[in-house]
Amino acid sequence: MIIKKPADIRPSEITEPAIYRRRRDFIRNTTGLLLAGMTGGLPGTGAARPGHGGKVIQGIERGPFSTAEPPTPYEDVTTYNNFYEFGTDKESPARLAGSLKTEPWTVTIEGEVARPGRYPLEDLLKGQPMEERIYRMRCVEGWSMVIPWVGFPLANLIERFQPTANAKYVEFQSLHDPAQMPGQRRDVLEWPYVEGLRMDEAMHPLTILAVGLYGEVLPNQNGAPLRLVVPWKYGFKGIKSIVRMRFVERQPVSSWSRAAPHEYGFYANVNPEVSHPRWSQRRERRIGELRKRRTLMFNGYADQVAHLYRGMDLAKFY
């Protein structure tokens, strides 16, 4: 598998060292009790940072694609979430996700690969260099955040499994366990949650698998212990609590595309020129700000990813 060298990064996209080293000091952490004991096989975890409550991930490197924008406060990132497995409102995931047991955790790899199998999470993470990448994240409802994710390029893992020439897409599946995930007791979506990427999207260096945020192990409500982060797409593409990756030849049917195909397309690229049937996508509200801001094409990552969609009708392939 050949990984193409990404386009040159604009200077405005590179985080200044002083910004990267800065850690915001918070007075309290309302979700600290949910984070206890969540190391889940993640190597290099240490004592909790005062004020957060999560396990610190040691040896994090500086990621190459971070924005210089100030991160959204930790409390907002961990208490205002879309995670329908724990409820459809933004507050339920932080309140209910403590029921999720994240260790032991395994991920099944299957389909068009030379090395299928059921892998313990610690085996998948072994040898992966952990990076902090401060990414802009955009939700289709019109709100956005800037999150310091900790993770590693998805391409690293894909190469390990040796996909065949027939592998055109990667399908992801989240945990299906209504006993732990009360939202799955309702027919809001067809469970388990399924998402997918085209292979070149999955191999792009911006695409990561996240295991933490703000330097700490990923909280349950943010998709512990393993979630997808694709910063140029809307947030529903970032499938959480991944238990299965399937390499396939045909485009997967993702959960929101199945539920409402006229509203949610497979690609889910941030495009201010293509409105959702019920609202415009031209402006967004950053959490913590009152004034709305203009929505950027591909969420501001056009210089890096626009070439992936050259020649495509982006109003049709939305």
Domains, the chain, ordered by start: 11-309 (3.90.420.10)
Contact in structure between 172 and 223 (CB atoms under 8 Å)? no
Compute the mean pLDDT over every residue in the chain, rounded to the nearest whole number: 87
Tens-place pLDDT, residues 278-307: 999 999 999 999 999 999 999 999 999 999
Distance CA(30)–CA(43), nearest Å, equals 26
Contact in structure between 125 and 40 (CB atoms under 8 Å)? no
Percent helix, percent strand, percent coil in the chain, to nearest 5: 25, 25, 50
Average pLDDT of the residues in 43-57: 61
Per-residue model confidence (pLDDT) at position 28: 27
For residue 127, what are the contacts with CB-CB under 8 A and spacing of at least 6? Answer: none
Per-residue model confidence (pLDDT) at position 222: 98
Per-residue model confidence (pLDDT) at position 45: 53
1 falls in which pLDDT band (50, 70, 90)? Answer: very low
Per-residue model confidence (pLDDT) at position 30: 27
State residue 220 phi and psi, 5-degree precision. Answer: -55, -45
pTM over 0.95: no
Per-residue model confidence (pLDDT) at position 99: 87
Per-residue model confidence (pLDDT) at position 282: 96
> Is the predicted pLDDT of residue 147 greater than 60, yes or no?
yes
Per-residue model confidence (pLDDT) at position 218: 97
Matching residue, tokens 């598998």: 1
Tens-place pLDDT, residues 75-105: 999 999 999 999 999 999 999 999 899 999 9
Helices (H), 129-272: 154-161, 199-203, 255-259
For residue 133, what are the contacts with CB-CB under 8 A and spacing of at least 6? Answer: 63, 64, 65, 66, 148, 149, 150, 151, 208, 229
Distance CA(282)–CA(294), nearest Å, equals 6
Q: Say whether 172 sits in a helix, a strand or coil.
A: strand
